[in-house]
Amino acid sequence: MMSTPRPHQPVMVTEVLEALAIRPDGIYLDGTVGGGGHAAEIAARLETGRLIGLDCDPSALEVARARLEQFVERVTLVHANFAQLDRVLDELGIAHVNGILLDLGVSLTQLDTPQRGLSFRLEGPLDMRLDPTQELTAADLVNTLDERELTKIFRDYGEERWAARIAHTIVRERRQHPIETTTELVRVIEQSIPAAVRRKSRIHPATRVFQALRIAVNDELDNLQRALTVGFERLAPGGRCVVISFHSLEDRIVKRFFRERLKAGQAEQIRGPIRPSSEECAQNPRARSAKLRVLSKAP
Ligand SMILES: C[S@@+](CC[C@H](N)C(=O)[O-])C[C@H]1O[C@@H](n2cnc3c(N)ncnc32)[C@H](O)[C@@H]1O
């Protein structure tokens, strides 16, 4: 078992900076400030401008605060969900921003922290909340939803072929005792998938169910849709919205939203998917599934 969480390595930094086309006097909103990797690069390019960094995880904000110390005059960090970026901007008295960055999902640091229950490789409580001030956990879902609801989550958010069987086994097992840890859930998933299928699979059998539960616990797809909608309204004319997604459900939402704005004549241009270079993928395996999309608002 790993003892120290790995520091998060930002993906596609060159591509993000190019896409944001930073103005030294501009106002930028990083909705997923995380370890502050992208934010530090943005802040370094500002002169009179400002960077607003949000994260729903207070411990990520602490890491970002240390990383961004040298830019303290230009940076404001706020504990908030990016779906509420309009409220944050209102409170700061900012009407419009020149760029928005969303680097979706979880950081390596979060993934490597067993107590967060995000990794099927580490023993920990079945938590999965990105924002620890939220009440609902993955254990709540696993132990209270009925079989049909669990199947739907695994199917809709995990595209899991064995969704119904896994939900069935969960409901049977939890009658004996509640499923409280990541390892217990992994065992139940493994029991539900035929051994021959498991042997042939290129991914860990728990990958899709863990993704699905994380999306459900954190309401990730609705939050993304809302952040795009309110973010677009707060983008200044000519401003850029840059989103990095890591799976097809997120990417589909971003693609559809950008295309609709273009069709409506509200966007001047959209680009993507832009993929990381093979050098970056070799050096940072997490980058392999990254897709970057860019929208420029009409002037
Ligand atoms: C992939 S990491 C971002 C890494 C960051 N770009 C960097 O360079 O270090 C994603 C971060 O977004 C945060 N996050 C995910 N969903 C969020 C949401 N709806 N609102 C605010 N923060 C969110 C996570 O807590 C995590 O810290």
From the list 93, 95, 125, 110, the residue with the least C-alpha distance to 32 is 110
Residue 244's SS3 state is: strand
What CATH number belongs to 135-217? 1.10.150.170
Report which protein residue has its CA nearest ligand 1's atom 5.
34
Q: Which residue has the CA at smallest separation from atom 8 of ligand 1?
A: 37
Per-block mean pLDDT, blocks of 10 residues, the chain (299 long): 72 98 98 97 98 98 97 97 98 98 95 95 97 98 98 97 97 97 97 89 93 98 98 98 97 98 97 96 93 98
Give residue for tokens 């850029």. Answer: 240
Residue type, 206: A
Ligand 1 lined by 223 (C-beta under 6 Å): yes
pTM of the model: 0.96
Whether domain 13-109+220-297 has CATH 2.170.8.10: the reply is no
State the distance from the centre of ligand 1 to the C-alpha of 84, rounded, in angstroms: 14
Q: Among 9, 14, 107, name the best residue to mutate to test ligand 1's pocket (greatest count of ligand atoms within 8 A of Cβ).
A: 107
CA of 176 to the centre of ligand 1 (A): 37
The DSSP letter of residue 297 is E
Cβ–Cβ contacts within 10 Å for residue 146, how many?
10
Whole-number Å distance, alpha carbon 55 to ligand 1 midpoint, is 6
Q: Is 130 in the pocket of ligand 1 (CB under 6 A)?
A: yes
Q: Give the three-class secondary structure for 46.
A: coil
Residue 270 is given by DSSP the state E
pLDDT in the model for residue 160? 95
The reply to whether ligand 1 has any atom less than 6 angstroms from the CB of 11 is no
Cβ within 8 Å of residue 223, ≥6 positions away: 81, 82, 83
Q: What is the pLDDT, as a whole number, of residue 3? A: 64
Distance separating alpha carbons of residues 163 and 211, to the nearest angstrom: 13
Instruction: Give the pLDDT score at 202.
Output: 86
pLDDT for 1 equals 46
Q: How far is the CA of 162 from the centre of ligand 1 (A)?
A: 29
Residue boundaries of the structural domains of the chain: 13-109+220-297, 135-217
Can you read off the two tokens belonging to residue 207? Answer: 């990958």
Determine if ligand 1 sits within 6 Å of the CB of residue 293: no
Alpha helices by DSSP H, the chain: 13-20, 37-44, 58-67, 85-92, 108-111, 138-144, 147-158, 163-173, 182-192, 195-200, 207-217, 220-234, 248-263, 278-283
**Block residue for tokens 């998917």:** 273
pLDDT of residue 21: 97
- Nearest to residue 30, comparing CAs of 211, 223, 214, 227? 227
Separation of 130 CA from ligand 1 center, angstroms? Answer: 9
Span from the CA of 155 to the centroid of ligand 1 (angstroms):
24
Between CA 106 and CA 60 the distance in angstroms is 10
